Amino acid sequence: MAHSAARDDLTLDEVRLLLAPGIADAAVFDGWTDAALGSAAEMDGVDPDVARLAFPGGAMDLIAAWIASIDLAMAEALPPATIASMKIRDRIRSLIEARLTAVAGREEALRRALAIMAMPQNVVRAGKLGWASADAMWRLAGDTATDYNHYTKRAILASIYAATLAVFATDDSEGKAETRAFLDRRIDGVMRFEKLKAQMLRPSEERFSVARFLGRLRYPAR
């Protein structure tokens, strides 16, 4: 009875986060459906009518709640004190791997979620969810950029994460080795790009200039 009373005091946001993992478990068999929602509500002692009230938008609401629960699991697995001493590439890799760990065992639910998110009517919201996840990762990684880098970093990371999830969903290699290798390659590529971009964006006086070099040959400095 006390357990049920405590559930009655939850806000709808809290209900969504509470039910999300159970919904994902049920989605392995039932898909992202009302049946999965009902199973999770029964398991967690939540009134089914309240559960439905918390998810008025159907499958995409269920998936969004699961993503929010993954954001939370990632933050709990990698608090600031844990990642503070890591290099930036290791922070990003660890944050993505923490998300994959939270998804592990629910690959069928992931495959079904990706298929739903790819539907034309859901693409815009799916893009916003991917952006929000990338933003959460960069913030945990300590990013404080406010210029255009704020947007390019998140766009690139959202792309990497989405591609990694697609590989992860069908990866049957031992220990998800193919996914880890894929992720490493993508991060290596981004790090090379960031290094090149940093060189290109240095002040002009710090960059090598053929014209300036030839000018100095012709008119030596005195």
Q: What is the pLDDT of residues 43-101, one digit of tens each?
A: 999 999 999 999 999 999 999 999 999 999 999 999 989 999 999 889 999 999 999 99
pLDDT score of 221 more than 70: no
Tokens 């029964």 correspond to 42
Question: Is pLDDT larger for residue 1 or for residue 62?
Answer: 62
Residue 107 falls inside a structural domain: yes
Residue 214 falls inside a structural domain: yes
Residue 37 falls inside a structural domain: no
Residue 202 falls inside a structural domain: yes
Q: Choose the weakest-confidence range: 32-41, 191-200, 201-210.
A: 201-210
DSSP assignments along the chain, one per residue: -HHHHHHHT--HHHHHHHHHHHHHHHHHHH-SSHHHHHHHHHHHT--HHHHHHH-TTTHHHHHHHHHHHHHHHHHHHS-HHHHTTS-HHHHHHHHHHHHHHHHTT-HHHHHHHHHHHTSGGGHHHHHHHHHHHHHHHHHHTT----SHHHHHHHHHHHHHHHHHHHHHHH--SGGGHHHHHHHHHHHHHHHHHHHHHHHHTS-GGGS--HHHHHHHHHS---
Domain extent, residue 201, equals: 87-222
Residue 60: C-alpha distances to residues 8, 89, 131, 186 (Å)? 24, 31, 15, 28
Residue 93 falls inside a structural domain: yes
Residue type at position 154? R
CA-nearest of 155, 150, 165 to 131 is 155
Residue 177 falls inside a structural domain: yes
Percent of the chain at pLDDT above 70?
82
Q: Give me the number of domains the chain comprises.
A: 1
pLDDT tens by residue, 160-172 = 999 999 999 999 9
Question: Is pLDDT larger for residue 82 or for residue 220?
Answer: 82
Residue 164 falls inside a structural domain: yes
Residue 98 falls inside a structural domain: yes
pLDDT score of 210 more than 80: no
Tokens of 94: 């660890």
CA-nearest of 21, 1, 9, 22 to 50 is 9
The model carries a pTM of: 0.83
